[in-house]
Amino acid sequence: MFNKEKNFVSAVIYVYKAEDRIEEFLRTVIRTFEKHFENSEIICVDDCSTDKSIDIIKKIGQEPSTFTNITIVNLSYYHGLERAMNAGVELAIGDFVFEFDSTILDFDPEEIMTVYWHSLKGYDIVSASPDKKQKIMSNIFYKLFEYFTDSSYKMGTERFRILSRRVINRIGSMNKTIPYRKAVYANCGLKTDNLRYHIV
């Protein structure tokens, strides 16, 4: 018999005009969670989408075969990725919280578990990045960030990440004037790592 993980996991998914891909993405996360974890939740933060994203999420959440609790945070006006994700993470109750900054599904679903297993080795933040070259402007931004900070955290394009409850508690007590989440994570003083995956 397959022994499921006892840790409660949360997923915070940023949704903005994603009606063409949210169903496949959401079902992928649900299947992975229900296969591997006893208890899980998904928080979809809709950043004032004007398409049918919310309707699709509601339909999936009401299906009797879906055991994972799905919550929708419906923002009344556009907030942008950083504020929207912060709102979702504040609501998450998991021992570990996955942050999905987009609904682009260019990774094998097992990468979700690879990141989780790696976090159990003592890492408070583990991110997953596509194995491809970064855009020029992104590369310049991350180089400048590394130059002007004394953090050992290597910034780069990340598709998703997992946060331990310890890091969520830590950043909750930090100065929140920095709007960029990855900058906060880079300076929280906890152990981090980045895993790269092949795009599927």
Q: Looking up tokens 């990141």, which residue turns up? A: 115
Q: Among 107, 102, 101, which Cα is nearest to 163's?
A: 101
pLDDT tens digits, one per residue of 146-197: 555 555 555 567 999 999 999 999 887 765 555 678 878 877 889 999 999 9
Q: How far apart are CA 54 and CA 140, in angstroms?
A: 35
Asked if pLDDT for residue 139 goes beyond 80, the answer is no
Higher-pLDDT residue of 64, 78: 78
Asked if pLDDT for residue 134 goes beyond 90, the answer is no
CA 56 distance to own-chain centroid: 20
Q: Among 190, 34, 37, 187, which Cα is nearest to 125's?
A: 190
Residues in the chain: 200
Q: Kindly give the interhelix angle for 53-61 and 22-36, rounded to the nearest 10 degrees.
A: 30
Q: Looking up tokens 């880079």, which residue turns up? A: 186
Higher-pLDDT residue of 59, 152: 59
Q: How far apart are CA 98 and CA 160, in angstroms?
A: 7
Q: How far apart are CA 5 and CA 8, in angstroms?
A: 8
Q: How far apart are CA 56 and CA 35, in angstroms?
A: 22
Q: Among 78, 104, 83, 92, which Cα is nearest to 164's?
A: 92
Higher-pLDDT residue of 31, 139: 31
Mean pLDDT of 115-122: 98
Portion of the chain with pLDDT greater than 70, in percent:
84
pLDDT value, residue 188: 84
pLDDT value, residue 176: 58
Higher-pLDDT residue of 138, 24: 24
